């Protein structure tokens, strides 16, 4: 495997020049493990790498931090040592979501993709508004958008045709293909987007068949990663993490977890805003740290019981807090490890400097 197979080009090479002088090696990030990253090097070697303190501290926002698809400069440690990300190269394209409203917080979904395949399904699940939002973020990213209307085997010819036409009406410039991971329909068209060095990302709601399509493309190379759905007991393989893979026949594919509407388009503050009526209610709870579960004197539960609050909305509100909490926990965890590492590196530097002084003293016994 060469760097070109991974998507490297002269633009990245030029940007890498200053890092090369330091003896660092280019690599592409293929996985974000929250605390570490998976990186692929030129020879196809995969390494688990950590974020250097400096890269972390110089990041103005989360969007500056390395993301899956990014090219980075690695200081490859001695055996047993950590491999550290010392720099991130500028992005050729960047698929990101930005929360609506005043918040400028941007979250990178994937960097340096050339083509984004939006997977959707026909029939009742087809949602034009959702597709519009996908087009908006892809338009901003610099990548090309393609729509796959999947599960064609489940719908009638006229239903499929209607969906394809609806997509074309939304965006006449976009390629639309009817596909089926079940029957293989439309797969040659999908395959045509895969060429050596070209990065293709699949996005779309959970369950539309992104992984199933990728599975058909990759064949034996691909391992289902998810687990069986506990509720349905079916072999649903929900993708839990974004992953970049290189196809043996050439081409780079990025599978994404299904994008949940709420997670996709809003940040914490807009989420809270949309539940502001519930927040007002919550302020009437007896305890300021009420979890709105079985807590005594909970105003929210009382409203549900009184029939003035929709239980579904209440459930959403409960989940929302957990979601936000989880998000925060992850951020904090990563920050802590990076901080620790940063401090360790600083201590090491001090130690190295004092060792050096020691050595200098030994070498100059006349002083
Ligand atoms: N009939 C039919 N079923 C399909 C098709 N594509 C996917 N499925 C099924 O739909 C279910 C979900 O497919 P996945 O590939 O896991 O969906 P996904 O988009 O990767 O979902 P997340 O990983 O949760 O985002 C699986 O049970 C698949 O077998 C299709 O074209 N036709
Ligand atoms: Mg999946
Ligand atoms: Zn409460």
Region of 44 (left: φ > 0; alpha: ψ -120 to 50; beta: rest) is left
Q: What is the pLDDT of residue 229?
A: 41
Whether 332 has a pLDDT exceeding 60, the answer reads no
Indicate if ligand 1 lies below 6 Å from the C-beta of 185.
no
Q: What is the pLDDT of residue 171?
A: 86
Q: What is the pLDDT of residue 344?
A: 66
Best of 203, 212, 238, 260 for a ligand 1 pocket test (most atoms within 8 Å of beta carbon): 212
CATH 3.40.50.970 for domain 275-367, yes or no, is no
Q: Where are the beta strands (DSSP E) in the chain?
A: 25-32, 37-41, 46-51, 71-75, 83-88, 94-98, 106-111, 115-121, 144-150, 175-178, 199-203, 243-246, 252-255
Please report which confidence band the pLDDT of residue 235 belongs to, taking 50, 70 and 90 as the band edges: very low
End-to-end alpha-carbon separation of the chain, Å?
A: 55
Which residues on neighbouring strands pair with residue 243, listed in sequence order? 31, 255
Indicate if ligand 1 lies below 6 Å from the C-beta of 178.
no
Q: Distance of alpha carbon 111 from its chain centroid, rounded?
A: 9
Taking the domain 94-261, which CATH number applies? 3.40.50.300
Please report which confidence band the pLDDT of residue 293 belongs to, taking 50, 70 and 90 as the band edges: confident
Are the folds of 4-88 and 275-367 the same?
Answer: no
pLDDT tens by residue, 1-55: 899 999 999 999 999 999 999 999 999 999 988 788 999 999 889 999 999 988 9
Indicate if ligand 1 lies below 6 Å from the C-beta of 83.
no
Indicate if ligand 1 lies below 6 Å from the C-beta of 238.
yes
What is the residue-wise DSSP string for 243-271?
Answer: EEEE-TTS-EEEE-PPPPHHHHH--HHHH
* Domain residue spans of the chain: 4-88, 94-261, 275-367
pLDDT tens by residue, 61-73: 888 899 999 999 9
pLDDT tens by residue, 218-229: 875 555 444 444
Please report which confidence band the pLDDT of residue 342 belongs to, taking 50, 70 and 90 as the band edges: low
Indicate if ligand 1 lies below 6 Å from the C-beta of 259.
no
Distance in angstroms (rounded) separating the CA atoms of residues 182 and 14: 44
> Which DSSP letter does residue 41 get?
E
This prediction has a pTM of 0.72
Distance in angstroms (rounded) separating the CA atoms of residues 217 and 251: 11
Query: Hey, whose CA ends up nearest to atom 26 of ligand 1?
Result: 236
Long-range pairs of 128-135 with CB within 8 A, sequence gap ≥ 24: 128/166, 128/170, 130/205, 130/261, 131/167, 131/170, 131/171, 132/170, 133/264, 133/265, 134/203, 134/204, 135/170, 135/171, 135/174
**Domain 4-88: what homologous superfamily?**
Nucleic acid-binding proteins (2.40.50.140)
């Amino acid at each position: 495997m060469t760097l070109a197979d991974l998507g490297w080009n002269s633009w990245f090479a030029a940007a890498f020049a200053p890092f090369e002088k330091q003896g660092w090696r280019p690599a592409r990030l293929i996985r974000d493990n929250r605390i570490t990253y998976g990186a692929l090097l030129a020879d196809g070697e995969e390494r688990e790498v950590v974020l250097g303190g400096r890269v972390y501290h110089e990041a103005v926002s989360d969007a500056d931090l390395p993301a899956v698809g990014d090219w980075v400069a690695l200081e490859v440690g001695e055996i047993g040592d950590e491999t550290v990300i010392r720099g991130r190269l500028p992005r050729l394209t960047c698929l990101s979501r930005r929360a609506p409203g005043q918040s400028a917080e941007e979250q990178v979904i994937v960097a340096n993709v050339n083509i984004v395949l939006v997977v959707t399904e026909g029939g009742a699940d087809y949602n034009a508004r959702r597709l519009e939002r996908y087009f908006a973020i892809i338009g901003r990213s610099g990548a090309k958008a393609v729509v796959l209307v999947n599960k064609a085997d489940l719908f009638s010819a006229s239903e499929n045709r209607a969906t394809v036409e609806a997509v074309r009406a939304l965006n006449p410039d976009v390629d639309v293909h009817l596909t089926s991971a079940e029957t293989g329909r439309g797969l040659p068209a999908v395959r045509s987007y895969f060429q050596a060095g070209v990065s293709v990302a699949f996005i779309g709601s959970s369950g539309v068949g992104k992984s199933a399509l990728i599975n058909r493309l990759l064949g034996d190379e691909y391992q289902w990663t998810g687990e069986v759905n506990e509720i349905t007991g079916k072999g649903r393989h929900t993708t839990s993490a974004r992953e970049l893979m290189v196809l043996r026949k050439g081409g780079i594919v990025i599978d994404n977890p299904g994008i949940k509407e709420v997670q996709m388009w809003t940040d914490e503050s807009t989420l809270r805003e949309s539940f502001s009526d519930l927040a007002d209610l919550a302020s009437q709870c007896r305890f300021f740290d009420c979890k709105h579960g079985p807590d005594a004197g909970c105003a929210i539960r009382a409203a549900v019981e009184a029939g003035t609050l929709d239980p579904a909305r209440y459930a959403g509100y409960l989940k929302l807090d957990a979601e936000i909490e989880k998000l925060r926990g992850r951020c904090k965890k990563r920050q802590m490890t990076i901080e620790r590492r940063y401090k360790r590196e600083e201590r090491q530097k001090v130690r190295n400097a004092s060792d050096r002084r020691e050595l200098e003293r030994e070498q100059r016994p006349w002083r």
